[in-house]
């Protein structure tokens, strides 16, 4: 999409972005329906659609109906193959990238193993991927790169990544020169939150909290379609809330963090302490022990979520983790959440346990789309 100008051109660009965003949500629509939904004149919408048709990013599919009087509505839709975005996710063991269309459908993806975590080596791998994708996919609108750690999205600066052992890295300064495309730098969990909210079809005018359980534990607040970062870019770092001051030492250097109680590493460690060699993968060998450990993990999470709900009052809390299939964990979360919450809070906050894991790379690609629609800042 073209960069906005001034005055009328800026307004036209703003309205064009609104039209594209509405078309993406509806998938198939008409000029008349867009005019009504966006409170724009039919002439304004028609001019914008004509421009988008000329650019080749919109298709006309023919009449939607045959009215007794007047012109029929003509079905229009975005050409998904002309509005692509890329998400590149840096993990502990490798780099996962996805090319997605404007409806978040994966067009192509790949995984590249990491052999070390040295800053220059990894950044050069990311730079190579950016160069390759830019050349291979002319329809790309932009690239978002996700990291484990605290990322200042406005500067493209990584403050701290404990899993990678990085601190104060100028990501944007290194990577932007290698591509003509707009780049974004994000925390992986925050990117996943965007995709989780979209996939769950939650009300974009409300607030939603997303919690991800993996080797670590992180979270993100999505308020009225926008990510909340906080002044130090740590908003949502629920994994480092202190649950047990006398608990185990966390990688962050403090004791008793939630991450040390419910993460994959923490649960596997507790299972192995109860029975040598026992892990989540071999849970069928000792179901009673597993049930006890998962109840403790669920109880801890439920207490934290009750405090979280009271502080930020989200309409929904989305839990994305490997324990979402465990009935003991789910029941313990619900029981603890309801017992520790004010009744009014628990009645107005819904808990969602995702049946399938969210792919942060898709969330990163979605972040590009939302940024281009001026919905994500």
Residue 377 confidence (pLDDT): 35
- At 78-96, the pLDDT tens digits run 999 999 999 999 999 999 9
Q: How far apart are CA 283 and CA 266, in angstroms?
A: 15
What is the number of domains present in the chain?
3
Does residue 164 belong to any structural domain of this protein? Answer: yes
Does residue 377 belong to any structural domain of this protein? Answer: no
Does residue 104 belong to any structural domain of this protein? Answer: yes
Mean pLDDT in consecutive groups of 10 residues from the start of the chain, 377 residues = 61 88 92 94 94 93 73 91 96 96 96 94 97 96 96 96 94 96 96 95 93 95 93 93 87 89 95 96 96 96 96 96 95 97 94 95 96 65
User: Could you tell me if 37 and 89 lie in one domain?
Assistant: no
User: Could you tell me if 104 and 74 lie in one domain?
Assistant: no
The H-or-E segment that residue 122 falls in is helix 119-136
pTM score above 0.75: yes
Residue 126 confidence (pLDDT): 97
Residue 6 confidence (pLDDT): 59
Does residue 366 belong to any structural domain of this protein? Answer: yes
User: Could you tell me if 367 and 339 lie in one domain?
Assistant: no
* Residues of the domain holding 45: 8-78
User: Could you tell me if 19 and 137 lie in one domain?
Assistant: no
Angle between helices 31-38 and 42-55 (to 10 degrees): 120
Query: Considering 57, 78, 99, which residue would you say is the last residue of a domain?
Result: 78
DSSP assignments along 336-353, one per residue: HHHHHS-HHHHHH-EEEE
Query: Considering 78, 97, 119, which residue would you say is the last residue of a domain?
Result: 78
Residue 1 confidence (pLDDT): 53
User: Could you tell me if 147 and 185 lie in one domain?
Assistant: yes
Q: How far apart are CA 216 and CA 233, in angstroms?
A: 17
User: Could you tell me if 317 and 368 lie in one domain?
Assistant: no
Check if the beta carbon of residue 58 is closer than 8 Å to that of residue 83: no
Q: How far apart are CA 125 and CA 122, in angstroms?
A: 5
User: Could you tell me if 171 and 216 lie in one domain?
Assistant: no
User: Could you tell me if 215 and 311 lie in one domain?
Assistant: yes
Does residue 116 belong to any structural domain of this protein? Answer: yes
User: Could you tell me if 205 and 337 lie in one domain?
Assistant: yes
Does residue 270 belong to any structural domain of this protein? Answer: yes
Query: Considering 27, 56, 78, which residue would you say is the last residue of a domain?
Result: 78
Does residue 2 belong to any structural domain of this protein? Answer: no
**In degrees, to the nearest 5, what angle opens at C-alpha 172 toward C-alphas 190 and 182?**
80
User: Could you tell me if 220 and 291 lie in one domain?
Assistant: yes
- At 233-272, the pLDDT tens digits run 999 999 999 998 888 888 888 888 999 999 999 999 999 9
Residue 67 confidence (pLDDT): 65
- At 305-358, the pLDDT tens digits run 999 999 999 999 999 999 998 999 999 999 999 999 999 999 999 999 999 999
Listed in sequence order, the residues at least 6 apart from 164 whose beta carbon sits closer than 8 Å to its beta carbon are: 90, 92, 117, 122, 147, 148, 149
CATH number at residue 260: 3.30.420.40
User: Could you tell me if 108 and 207 lie in one domain?
Assistant: no
Check if the beta carbon of residue 274 is closer than 8 Å to that of residue 235: no
User: Could you tell me if 152 and 229 lie in one domain?
Assistant: no
Does residue 53 belong to any structural domain of this protein? Answer: yes
Q: Which two tokens mark 279?
A: 């892990």
CATH number at residue 18: 1.10.10.10
Q: How far apart are CA 208 and CA 204, in angstroms?
A: 9
Where are any strands of DSSP class E within the chain? 58-63, 74-78, 84-90, 94-100, 106-113, 140-147, 150-152, 157-161, 166-170, 183-187, 207-213, 217-223, 226-228, 316-320, 350-353
Tokens 């009052």 found at: 313
């Amino acid at each position: 999409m073209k960069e906005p100008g001034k005055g009328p051109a800026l307004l036209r660009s703003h309205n064009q972005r609104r039209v594209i965003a509405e078309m993406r949500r509806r998938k198939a629509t008409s000029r008349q329906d867009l005019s009504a939904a966006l409170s724009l004149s039919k002439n304004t919408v028609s001019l914008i659609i004509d421009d988008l048709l000329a650019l080749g990013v919109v298709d006309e599919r023919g009449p939607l109906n045959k009215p007794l009087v007047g012109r029929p509505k003509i079905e229009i839709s975005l050409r998904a193959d002309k509005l692509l975005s890329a998400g590149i996710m840096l993990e502990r063991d490798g780099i996962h990238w996805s090319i997605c269309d404007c409806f978040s459908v994966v067009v192509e993806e790949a995984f590249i193993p990491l052999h070390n975590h040295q800053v220059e080596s990894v950044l050069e791998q990311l730079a190579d991927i950016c160069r390759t994708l830019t050349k291979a996919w002319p329809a790309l609108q932009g690239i978002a790169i996700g990291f484990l750690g605290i990322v200042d999205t406005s500067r493209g600066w990584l403050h701290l990544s404990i899993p990678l052992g990085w601190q104060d890295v100028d990501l944007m300064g290194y990577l932007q020169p290698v591509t003509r495309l707009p780049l974004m730098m994000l925390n992986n969990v925050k990117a996943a939150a965007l995709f989780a909210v979209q996939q769950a079809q939650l009300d974009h005018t409300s607030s939603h909290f997303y919690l991800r359980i993996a080797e670590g534990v992180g979270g993100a607040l999505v308020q009225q379609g926008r990510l909340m970062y906080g002044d130090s870019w740590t908003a949502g770092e629920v994994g480092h809330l202190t649950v047990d001051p006398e608990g185990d030492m966390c990688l962050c250097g403090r004791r008793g963090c939630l991450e040390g109680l419910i993460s994959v590493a923490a649960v596997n460690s507790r299972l192995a302490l109860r029975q040598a060699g026992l892990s989540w993968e071999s849970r069928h060998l000792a179901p009673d022990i597993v049930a006890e450990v998962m109840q403790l993990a669920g109880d801890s999470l439920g207490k934290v979520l009750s405090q979280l709900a009271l502080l930020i009052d989200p309409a929904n809390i989305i839990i994305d983790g490997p324990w979402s299939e465990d009935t003991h964990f789910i029941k313990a979360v619900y029981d603890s959440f309801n017992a520790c919450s004010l009744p009014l809070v628990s009645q107005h906050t819904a808990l969602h346990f995702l049946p399938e894991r969210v792919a942060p790379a898709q969330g990163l690609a979605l972040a590009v789309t939302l940024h281009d629609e001026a919905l994500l800042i």
